[in-house]
Amino acid sequence: MTTMTAATPGTSKTIASATAEGICTITLNRPDVLNAFNDQLTTDLGEALKAAERDAAVRVVVITGAGRAFSSGQDLGDLKQRYVAGSVPPLGDDLRRRYNPIIKRIREMEKPVIAAVNGVAAGAGCSLALACDLRVASDQASFIEVFINVGLIPDSGSTFMLPRLVGLGKALELCWTGQRVDAAEALRLGLVNQVVPAAELEGAVKKLAGRIAGLPARAIALTKRLLNQSLTNDLDAQLEAEAYDQETAGKTADHMEGVIAFLEKRKPTFQGK
């Protein structure tokens, strides 16, 4: 089992976060606008993820939304001053400065990141959910690649993650049509790992996160890294990466504990070392 830690809440203008029992829950907290992203929210989310990554007490990170939405994506009202005749909005710079660092941190963080999708995940909100390692959805959740409806392309990692989850043909369909995918269809397509009744979402996510938090942390981290590398490595490179990381895993105290516990026919006690 993991070491128990006291709940330590953190707040900002747009984020609520708390850590307990090795699980850091980061809640997008603009429910009045369906947790749409403005400059402050992307800044606060980036800082919350950085803090969770650096906190040795955190074994698993959970991202969810307050109220009835996960996130409706970019707050277009926040950009209205840019949309005047003759202007060209600096969308590429916005992605590089605000969104891309968040997606990269989630993908490169050695700790597992779980999206608890409580409602609609649209646009960049959909991309955020797809960037997480695992997704548990409420039966009231939905996913929408809405970019086409405003003449844009999917961003914030959607063009990378979506075809890897559902295949190229389905990814093109979802991006070109901007159709809504409900929770049941998301499960069938492989967009989510699990769908539960809305009232049971928090408990289901806590159970999954707790199970992962109790496993050998170094092996969890190395597995995430290897599976990410497998998306671009050839077979020879991946075999060598496995050999190298297995050598690393074999030196951990948790590996020794796991083998001894097996031989002694008892449940292992992993310490994350």
Contact yes or no for 133/224 (Cβ under 8 A): yes
Residue 11's pLDDT is 60
Domain 217-263 has CATH 1.10.12.10: yes
**Domain segments of the chain: what residues?**
8-213, 217-263
Ordered mean pLDDT values, 10 residues apiece, the chain (273 residues): 41 89 97 96 97 96 98 83 73 93 97 98 98 98 96 96 97 97 98 98 97 95 96 96 96 94 92 86
Return the pLDDT at 14. Answer: 95
What are the Cα distances from residue 20, in Å, to 6, 45, 58, 59, 214? 6, 19, 8, 10, 13
Asked, colleague to colleague, whether 8-213 and 217-263 share their fold, the answer is no
Residue whose token pair is 């074994």:
59
Q: Which residues contact 74 (CB under 8 A, 6 or more apart)?
A: 36, 37, 123, 124
**Which of 219, 222, 165, 221 minimizes the C-alpha distance to 189?**
165
Residue type, position 117, single letter? V
Architecture of domain 8-213: Alpha-Beta Complex (3.90)
37-58 pLDDT, tens digit per residue, is 999 999 999 999 999 999 999 9
pLDDT confidence of residue 172: 98
Per-residue confidence (pLDDT) for residue 7, from 0 to 100: 40
Q: Say what the pLDDT of residue 3 is.
A: 35
Cα atoms in the 13 Å half-sphere on the side-chain side of 139: 5
pLDDT attached to residue 89: 78
Pairing state of beta strands 113-117 and 134-138?
parallel
Q: If residue 142 lies in a helix (H) or strand (E), which one and from where to where?
A: strand 142-144
